[in-house]
Every structure is written in C-alpha cells, then in structure tokens.
Amino acid sequence: PMPRAIVTGASSGVGLHATKSLIDRGWHVTMACRDLAKAEAAARSLDLDPGRYALAHLDLGSLASVRAFHANIARDHDSLDALVCNAAVYKPRLTQPGRSPDGFEISVATNYFGHFLLANLMLPLLEGAPSPRLITLGTVTANSEEFGGKVPIPAPADLGDFAGLKAGFRAPVAMIDGKPFKAGKAYKDSKLCTMMMSRELHTRHHARTGIVFATLYPGCVADTPLFRDTPKAFQTIFPWFQKNVTKGYVSQALSGERVAMVVADPEFAQSGVHWSWGNRQREGRSAFAQGLSTKATDAARSAELWELTAALTGLT
Ligand code: NDP
C-alpha cells in the first residue's frame, strides 16, 4: 500500500514542494491547508497526480479547527506514516500583535500551539504505522548555536521564564517571555518552541512508540511567500544576498526534496535530532545531525514549556 503523509501548509513554498517530492517517491499526501481553493490551484501548478493527494481544511491558528481536522482524519483512517509540521506565518511588520480566534498572539498560535495540539492528537494514528515519522520544520534563526540565530534584528529568540505563557498568553500579553511585542522575535520564539516540542516528543514518546521525531533546516528558501509581509526592497535584496553573499540560498524544489528525504529515506531514521545541510550550500553535500542551542535542549525547560502549552491548548 502507498505510505501516507499529512503536510501542513502545503499550499505554497516548502510544503508544496515537499508534497511533490513525496508523491514522486510513491507516497500519498493529504495537503492540510487553510485555503483549499489556493491549495488545489497550487497542486495543479505542479501537475500533481490527483490520485496521489487529497485536500483537507486546517486552520492551525484555531484550536477548534485542529480538533475538527483530527476528527475527520481519525474517522477515515486508522494509521498515518508521517506528519510534517510545516505551516508558518511570519509577520515582521506588525506593530500590534495579531490575535488567533482563541485570543493568542497569531504567530505563536499558528506555528507552535496548532502544531503542538495536532502532533499530540495524531500520535495514536502514527503508532498504527510500521515506521512512522513526525517531522518539524525548524530554522537557523531560532538556533543561537548558529550565526543566523544571533542576529539581533529585532532580537534573538528568547523565551525568558515563560512569564507570558504563565499569565495565560491572551491580551494584553503578546510574547512568551511576557515582554513588549516584537513581531520578528515572535516568529523566532515560535520556531524555537516547535523545535523544543520535537525534542520533548522524542523524550516522552520515542522509546514507547518507535515514532521518529526530527526537525530540519532545509536552507534559506529566500523566495517563498513566507517573506510576503516584509518590505518590497527586502524581497528583492534578500534572495540576492543569500545567493551571492552568504551562499545560503536553496530553491523551493530542493527544500521540498530535503523535507521528503527526512520523511521517507532510510538514512534519516534517527529520532531526537535536527538535520541540516549547513548554511553555505555546496553541491553534493550530505545532511548532518546538528547540535542545537542550550536554549533548545535544556530538559527541565522543555518539560516546563510542554506543561504550560498542554494547559493553554486544552490538551490536558
Ligand atoms: P510559505 O509562506 O510559502 O508557506 C507557509 C504555508 O503555511 C502556506 O501554505 C500557508 O498557507 C500555511 N499557513 C499559514 N498559516 C496557516 C494556518 N493558520 N493554517 C494552515 N496553514 C497555514 O512559507 P515557507 O514555505 O517558506 O515556509 C514553510 C516552513 O519552512 C515554515 O515552517 C518556515 O518556518 C520554514 N522555513 C522556511 C525557510 C525559508 O527560508 N523560507 C527557512 C527555514 C525554515 P497560505 O498559502 O494559505 O498562506
């Protein structure tokens, strides 16, 4: 039988191209998207085989939508080979926090809370598959071990002592550390949390279930619509800079191929790791398991973040 994956945010960029690469490997992909008409148009633009994908509605910013999505999948299927937590929003120009339907700051709600609840609800389905994987998109800007993670614009990822989460994370709270709102930092914080989530899933569930939990940094995919809310000049200069100066640029097609490798290929069967191909791209270079910052690997902090998030998302 065809192995089956769910890819969140498959209507553009990395998720769309990962869907294509998985289909090319003989997989069936459920494209979990908030805009189904856009997702269908995106699938057609890459000529995806209609027998190899399905569309399903998911708004990760809404906890009710995550629960409804899970109920629909669980009604129709009793196993799942892979879940790819890919969707994200990046809104660096907001001066006031956007709010999710549940009242949470929008980038943390979408990128982290939605995936946290989804991942936990999907565990029983993954357990039903022969060699399941749960793969999460991370990023350098959330890893202070790397140059990209030290860039102080507007500030590096920093979760403080979780004061914002402890205070309930609804207005007027806007940041996990409880400090004043910084839009670009909210994105970095959310990505650091999803990377910590993957480590904590590994700690709690790998030995018991055999599910492989891993994160990856696919390279700098500088021309995806992720950057749609940045200034126009940035959208021209950033890809040029990444191609010619940092040499970190990766095409959308290659980023999708890297996700598919981590989801499907036997070389990537290790759990509890973060995969990278480095920052300066070199042809033929293979992936390596990269260390994460102590911010991302501190076991006590990861466990505390887990408990706070489980309460806020209604998991417990
Ligand atoms: P895109 O903006 O191209 O894609 C993001 C996807 O997420 C879109 O399909 C979008 O849907 C979807 N999405 C946004 N909000 C929601 C929501 N509330 N519910 C469901 N889906 C939603 O970005 P990329 O492809 O560049 O990014 C994909 C992942 O890769 C992200 O996790 C990002 O952090 C990560 N990444 C990207 C890098 C890069 O350089 N681009 C580098 C490192 C990591 P819609 O089409 O409707 O907007």
Query: Is the Cα torsion angle 37, 43, 46, 48 positive or negative in sign?
Result: negative
Q: Which residues contact 287 (CB under 8 A, 6 or more apart)?
A: 216, 258, 261, 262, 267, 268, 275, 276, 277
Atom of ligand 1 nearest to the CA of 252: 25
Give residue 147's pLDDT. 64
Mean predicted lDDT score pLDDT of the chain? 93
Confidence of residue 221 (pLDDT cuts 50, 70, 90): confident
**Report field, pTM of the whole predicted structure over 0.90:** yes
Distance 256 CA to ligand 1 centre (A): 12
Residue-level pLDDT at 142: 67
Q: Model confidence at 150, in pLDDT bands (50, 70, 90)?
A: low
State the pLDDT at residue 298.
87
144 confidence band (pLDDT: 50, 70, 90): low
ipTM computed for the complex = 0.98
CA-nearest residue for atom 29, ligand 1, is 86
pLDDT at 187 > cutoff 80: yes
Q: Is 59 in the pocket of ligand 1 (CB under 6 A)?
A: yes
What percentage of the chain exceeds 70 in pLDDT? Answer: 97
Q: How many helices (H) and strands (E) does the chain have?
A: 12, 8
> Is the beta carbon of 142 within 6 A of some atom in ligand 1?
no
Which of ligand 1's atoms lies nearest the C-alpha of 111? 32
Strand partners, 289: 275
Gap from CA of 90 to ligand 1 centroid (Å): 8
